[in-house]
């Protein structure tokens, strides 16, 4: 009887493992089968998603394709997904705060999964996972192995070293360990040297775009190799899409020039040729990106730059350092010469930031909540006799719409005050140097005085909370500017500008 019970328990355990449902080769996980899945598949990538999330929908076909690629190879690595809106306990356990959140559970370890950090195309996902589970550098002992590595990947880096224990080879291995989304190989085989016309030791980056390959030229150090790879791993000109966004924003190059252009336009290719020609001179310094201005999903980006569809094609430049700074060329012409001149002035530090502003409305101070734009902002908020409370909002932001009736009541409450002004500013159409807005709504208080102080509001968004804050002179519910921990709608809501 004991043996029979043991047999039945084993059978049940196997059945439960086999019972994890799949959709397009992707395991469907819930709290009830999560631990079982980790035991059955020690290396598993898990996407926490929301059914309504546009970014998740865009990822789905690539995620399924990656799952199929690994399954067909007989890999032990599996891909899984969790509906975080249903499995709220799991989502909370793994700190899911946005969608999609993708985590890699290695070796059945569930306590501290690794955050997925590469691109959102199938090849990116597969390369990242292989780098996480196998050696950082594949040994290429024959021509067919090298050919497969190049053929199967958009970008691949191969080191040619007769002595694979040399200092150069060690530096190459260290560089390989630092990059997750590109496969690295190393060979000492004469036939591989001959096949790829390599006559001496060195490193070659192979790619399916632009020049097709780049040969490293310099001292073989980890830092130099990483700089070489990062300068050459992306196309000279890259289209902004859901899939390329992680590469664009996650890269080392934080200065981006953007060409907003309708792809359907008859002169699209001519504009692209001019843009690409200019890009050649700024490789590794400025990322050249084009955005299809006709695509509905890109309209938010146009708004962020104060552009309308009918104003495209247009050029803008942005730096994504600690503070985002935008620049606008002095001419609307899109030629290699004009773009090169614009970028040269930028690299020389000779450009002034472009700050958008609407014209001052005639009735800006007619209602209890005053309307601020770039052109009247400083005059109003830095009036030494006034305490000014400003909401920086976006017309499309749901949080801002919820706040609007309360903000109007606050304005009504203080409309007859001699020293308190309640105001609002559309930050998608107006920018000022004094305040950098990263999320909506942002609430800031500018107390009276000559010091030009700025206090962030972090209290409850209620009429009572706002009133206490104002009556306390910005002390109750306030924090010095820059210390807020805002969880509101970010400017990008994921991977946009």
H, E, C per residue of the chain: CHHHHHHHHHHHHHHHHHCCCEECCEEECCHHHHHHHHHHCCCEEEEEECCCCHHHHHHHHHHHHHHHHHHHCCCCCEEEEEECCCCHHHHHHCCCCCCCEEEEECCCCCCCCEECCCCCCHHHHHHHHHHHHCCCEEECCCHHHHHHHHHCCCEEEEEECCCCCCHHHHHHHHHHHHCCCCCEEEECCHHHHHHCCCCCCEEEEEECCCCCEEECCCCCCHHHHHHHHHHHCCCCEEECCCCCHHHHHHCCCCEEEEEEECCCCCCHHHHHHHHHHHHHHHCCCCEEEEEECCCHHHHHHHHHCCCCHHHCCEEEEEEECCCEEEECCCCCCCCHHHHHHHHHHHHCCCCCCCCCCCCCCCCCCCCCEEEECCCCHHHHHCCCCCEEEEEEECCCCHHHHHHHHHHHHHHHHCCCCCCEEEEEEECCCCCECCECCCEECEEEEECCCCCCCCEEECCCCCHHHHHHHHHCCCCCCEEECCCCCCCCEECCCCCCC
Residue 3, class by beta-carbon neighbours within 10 Å (0-12 exposed, 13-18 middle, 19+ buried)? exposed
* C-alpha closest to that of 444 among 358, 401, 382: 382
Q: Are strands 369-372 and 420-426 parallel, antiparallel or unpaired?
A: parallel
Q: Is 10 part of the annotated catalytic residue set?
A: no
- Strand partners for 44: 78, 105
Q: Rounded to an integer, what distance in angstroms lies between the CA atom of residue 49 and that of residue 51?
A: 7
CB 266 within 8 A of CB 313: no
Q: Is 56 part of the annotated catalytic residue set?
A: yes
Catalytic residue numbers read 53, 56, 397, 400
């Amino acid at each position: 009887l004991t043996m029979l019970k043991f047999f039945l328990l084993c059978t049940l355990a196997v059945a439960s493992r086999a019972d994890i449902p799949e959709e397009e080769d992707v395991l469907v996980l819930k709290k009830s089968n999560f631990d079982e899945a980790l035991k059955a598949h020690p290396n598993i990538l898990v996407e926490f998603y929301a059914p309504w999330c546009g970014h998740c929908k865009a990822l789905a076909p690539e995620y399924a394709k990656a799952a199929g690629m690994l399954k067909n190879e007989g890999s032990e690595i599996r891909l899984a997904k969790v509906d975080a809106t249903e499995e709220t306990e799991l989502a909370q356990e793994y700190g899911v705060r946005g969608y999609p959140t993708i985590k890699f559970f290695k070796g059945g370890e569930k306590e501290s999964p690794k955050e997925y950090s590469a691109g959102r195309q199938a090849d990116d996902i597969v390369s990242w996972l292989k780098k996480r589970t196998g050696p950082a550098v594949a040994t290429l002992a024959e021509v067919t192995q090298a050919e497969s590595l190049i053929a199967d990947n958009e970008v691949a880096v191969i080191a040619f070293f007769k002595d694979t224990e040399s200092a150069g080879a060690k530096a190459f291995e260290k560089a390989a360990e630092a990059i997750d989304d590109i496969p690295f190989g190393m060979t000492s085989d004469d036939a591989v040297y001959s096949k790829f016309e390599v006559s001496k030791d060195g490193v070659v980056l192979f790619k399916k775009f632009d020049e097709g390959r780049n040969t490293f030229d310099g001292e073989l150090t980890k830092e130099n190799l990483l700089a070489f790879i990062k300068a050459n791993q992306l196309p000279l000109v890259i289209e902004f899409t859901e899939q390329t966004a992680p590469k664009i924003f996650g890269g080392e190059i934080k200065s981006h020039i953007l060409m907003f252009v309708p792809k359907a336009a008859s002169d699209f290719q001519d504009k692209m040729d001019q843009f690409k020609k200019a890009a050649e001179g700024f490789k590794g310094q400025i990322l050249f990106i084009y955005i299809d201005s006709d695509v509905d999903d890109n309209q938010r980006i146009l708004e962020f730059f104060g552009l309308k569809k009918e104003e495209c094609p247009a050029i803008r430049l942005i730096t994504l350092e600690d503070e985002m700074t935008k620049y606008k060329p002095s001419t609307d012409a899109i030629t290699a010469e004009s773009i090169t001149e614009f970028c040269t002035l930028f690299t020389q530090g000779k450009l002034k930031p472009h700050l958008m502003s609407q014209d001052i409305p005639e009735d800006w101070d007619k209602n209890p909540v005053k309307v601020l734009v770039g052109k009247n902002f400083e005059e109003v908020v830095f009036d030494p006799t006034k305490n000014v409370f400003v909401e920086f909002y976006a017309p499309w932001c749901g949080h801002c719409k919820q706040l609007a009736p309360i903000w109007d009541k606050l304005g009504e409450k203080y409309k007859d005050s001699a020293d308190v002004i309640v105001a609002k500013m559309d930050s998608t159409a107006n920018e000022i140097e004094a305040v950098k807005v990263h999320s909506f709504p942002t609430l800031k208080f500018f107390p009276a005085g000559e010091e030009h102080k700025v206090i962030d509001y972090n209290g409850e968004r209620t009429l009572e909370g706002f009133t206490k804050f104002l009556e306390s002179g910005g002390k109750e519910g306030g924090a010095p500017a820059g210390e807020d921990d805002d969880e509101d709608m970010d400017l990008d809501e994921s991977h946009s500008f």
